[in-house]
Amino acid sequence: MQHALQALRPSLPIQGQGLAQLDDEQVQDWDQFILRFTKLQDAVGAQLYPALLAHLQEPYEDRPMLDKLNRLEKMGYLTSAEQWQTLRVIRNRLTHDYPIDDALEAAYLNDAVQAVTVLGDLLDRVKPVVP
């Protein structure tokens, strides 16, 4: 994801009119960024957080995701459950929304770029626990 983001940096923030002017390499960089962003967000929510709770011997395996997020927030591994839900909205927009408006699509992409820092912070919070 960082490799794709580095390639995209000169054109950030992307504007709606800039989307139509992307060359094949830039489209490929955006595709790589989107794929890796969505996979990372999915993996953290579906695998890392449940594994973290299990490692900490927290009995949350059968609880709803919101309960898991609230517990992780109380334990300091998550800034806020709302922040995670915002990341999920960004992820869902990238994978399920097909905006006709280039300006809206550019806004979604820029939101994802901004969210990379948040995802990195979430991973940094977990690093001290991972053996």
Residue 74 has pLDDT above 70, yes or no: yes
**pTM, to two decimals:** 0.89
SS (H, E, C) 52-103: HHHHCCCCCCCCCHHHHHHHHHHCCCCCCHHHHHHHHHHHHHHHHCCCCCHH
Mean pLDDT of 31-56: 95
Share the mean pLDDT of the chain. Answer: 92
Distance, in Å, from the CA atom of 96 to the CA atom of 114, rounded to the nearest integer, reads 19
Rounded to an integer, what distance in angstroms lies between the CA atom of residue 57 and that of residue 99? 43
Q: What percent of the chain has pLDDT over 90?
A: 85
The pLDDT confidence band at residue 130, using thresholds 50, 70 and 90, is low
